[in-house]
Structure 1
Amino acid sequence: MTGNAPRWVLVAQRQAGLVTRRQLRQLGLTSNYVDAQLSGRRWQEISSTVLATTTGALTRPQLMWAGVLHAGPRSAIGGLTALEVHGLDNWHRDEITVLIPKSHHLERIKGIKFVETRRPIQLMTSSKALPTWRVEPAALHWAAYTPVTRSAYGVLAACVQQSLTSPYRLDGWITRMRPLRRAKPFRRVLGEIAEGSQSVAELDVLRMCDRFGLPRPRRQTRRLDSAGRARYTDAEWSLTDGRTLVLEVDGGFHMTVKHWGADLERERQLVATGLVVVRCTAIQLRDDPERIVRDLLRIGLLGSSA
């Protein structure tokens, strides 16, 4: 589109093809013009206030814009949707989250969840064109209210692991967002992440060790396998007989054929260097750590009672 395009076209381009009726009025378009576009099926009505200047199903970015345009200038993309916008992988949810001021009731739009909050939405919004909460408040706010504590810890670990933020920035935002549910356990978990835990599974390993009196392992240790490639182990202990015991935790994505084969090769090449490698799933670690502990003890790991 050239620089001579009508102003409403430029506004729509910045908003993924969506505009509000109020914007169109301010830009000089009459209701008759708008109605003609709708009746000619060149545009479509998304809500009583938002129009799409395209036809067909809305794309995901368009649906995000529909939510914030419908909710008004004091709204923003929040929760896991905000983290998706910032680039977080593996935490996708189909439903889009839009944060709105408390007691700000809205007409519903399919596929969008409007979440009321008393927090200053605009002060926590990033500089992106699409009004979106910053990584830290988005992650902490979602983690504070998700019913599954392990998921709360997992999203904080994922944000750090994927280099979207750091434990120190998240800790600073806990202070800025005071009062915040789960603030104390969040600070404890962030401390563990700062010390080297890369995932919620690694945090589960530490909790298992503390619960059953096992020494805390070394984490994310760099090793060269039998092929000379660098590998990073999840957890390691030195045994009294000089061997090194490695515990590898497999998450859900490890169950795919591609990852399963790669994991088997990785295990073989680590074992070939003399390491003792034990594997478990993240579900086993979470739901039945006693059995894992028994096996570690039988291999030679000494607990505090030994």
Structure 2
Amino acid sequence: MSPVRRLDSLRHDAAAAAKAHSGVVSRTALAELGIDARMVAREVAAGRWRTHGRQTVAMHTGELDDVAKRWRAVWEVGTRVAAVDGVSALQAAGMTGFEEPTVHVSVVHRIALRSHTDLRVHKIIRRVPQEVTEAGLPRVKPAYAAVRAAQWACSDRQAALLLVMPVQQRLVTGAQLRSAATSIPGRARRGLVRTLVRDIADGAQSLGELDFAALCRQRGLPEPSRQVVREGPDGRIYLDVRWDNGLVVEIDGTAHQSGLSVSDDHLRANLVTMDGDIVLRMDLVGLRLRQEEFMDQVALAYLTRSTHHRAGAAR
């Protein structure tokens, strides 16, 4: 084979190898194809290829897409030790609606690392058995990734979002999330993550454990009735919280935020409103995170409703 034909053949093989990784290939894989550092340097100098770190070579000179960036992150940190984790693993699993340009990877804490300015490398105490996918991109499975994403989040609200979204988008089940939270205790937000996971995994039970009456007493409000029964066109409906002055509070779990349950909840709220009551809606996770704001609304609504109720009775 002539030198020119061999060069073309090597370029073809490199492009084929990179196709599985959205246009990038590792230097290790190139070496296995017979492409050494000198050829890489020549192709880069000719403007055909581009390097992205020490281990990653792109078969083009444009910007890398998200898939290529994840492969690059694993190769640059170390294929045998690194796995895409946290929010990046959730995105790789198909989670949408959350923007995070930085790729997050995890390694076991005893691994020595170089610094990477455009990656976020998290050291973890240990790997949970079988937490990393066996095929394709080395990434942590969604339930474990969601728990770590919450632990690494920049705020409590972001932590809650990164626990709720994978369940709402059916990437994980509540039971899987609860199991993962038990396996990965972590150091950051340990109590909050445990509480949020319980709320998300079993909203009805968590609602029972939430002492809403105590929150009302702190505001000087009388204790409301729980699970008040009303008759609807299709049978009985149950209201979470109701006072005699007609103020109703509905506290929704995660399951109420997807599928047909949203329509069911709206119909129920509309029916109660048409009967003359006022309905305040709040989600269980939101109440955990923004308790003061929600209870401000409850106190104001109770005061307003009581004033109107007394005025109507005086007529």
Give the structure-2-normalised TM-score. 0.67
In structure 1, stretches of 5+ residues that fail to align are 226-232, 250-265, 301-306
Structure in which a larger fraction of residues adopt helix: 2
CA contact (8 A) 1:18 1:50 kept: yes
For residues 141 and 188 of structure 2, the distance between their equivalents in structure 1, rounded to whole angstroms, comes to 18
Change (3 A) 1:159 1:217: farther
- The count of aligned residue pairs is 267
Where do 1:1-306 residues align within 5 Å?
6-73=12-79, 74-102=81-109, 103-110=111-118, 112-120=119-127, 123-127=130-134, 129-146=136-153, 148-178=155-185, 181-196=188-203, 210-213=214-217, 215=224, 236-240=240-244, 243=246, 245-246=248-249, 271-272=273-274, 274-278=276-280, 285-298=290-303, 299=305
Tell which structure's C-alpha radius of gyration is larger: 2
Could you give the per-residue CA deviations for residues 277-304 of structure 1, whole angstroms, max 9, x where no partner exists? 346896995453442131242336xxxx
Counterpart position of 1:229? none
Change (3 A) 1:224 1:167: same
1:116 CA drift (Å): 2.3
**How many percent identity over aligned positions?**
20
Q: Bigger CA drift: 276-285 or 43-52? A: 276-285
For residues 213 and 290 of structure 2, the distance between their equivalents in structure 1, rounded to whole angstroms, comes to 11
Q: Provide the secondary structure at the position in 2 that maps to 1:37.
A: helix
1:106 CA drift (Å): 2.3
1:41 CA drift (Å): 0.7
Q: Provide the secondary structure at the position in 2 that maps to 1:48.
A: coil
1:144 CA drift (Å): 2.6
For residues 240 and 85 of structure 1, the distance between their equivalents in structure 2, rounded to whole angstroms, comes to 50
For residues 59 and 216 of structure 2, the distance between their equivalents in structure 1, rounded to whole angstroms, comes to 61
Q: Provide the secondary structure at the position in 1 that maps to 2:203.
A: coil
Counterpart position of 1:256? none
Change (3 A) 1:151 1:35: closer
1:246 CA drift (Å): 4.8
CA contact (8 A) 1:46 1:66 kept: yes
Change (3 A) 1:128 1:209: farther
For residues 122 and 191 of structure 2, the distance between their equivalents in structure 1, rounded to whole angstroms, comes to 24
Q: Provide the secondary structure at the position in 2 that maps to 1:190.
A: helix
CA contact (8 A) 2:224 2:242 kept: no
Change (3 A) 1:210 1:40: farther
Q: Cα RMSD over matched residues?
A: 4.2
1:248 CA drift (Å): 8.5
For residues 289 and 209 of structure 1, the distance between their equivalents in structure 2, rounded to whole angstroms, comes to 14
Counterpart position of 1:252? none
Q: Provide the secondary structure at the position in 2 that maps to 1:125.
A: coil
Change (3 A) 1:195 1:120: closer
Q: Provide the secondary structure at the position in 2 that maps to 1:29.
A: coil
Amino acid at match of 2:248: L
For residues 50 and 160 of structure 1, the distance between their equivalents in structure 2, rounded to whole angstroms, comes to 34
CA contact (8 A) 2:87 2:149 kept: yes
CA contact (8 A) 2:247 2:302 kept: no
For residues 141 and 85 of structure 2, the distance between their equivalents in structure 1, rounded to whole angstroms, comes to 8
In structure 2, stretches of 5+ residues that fail to align are 1-9, 218-222, 253-267, 307-315
1:158 CA drift (Å): 2.6
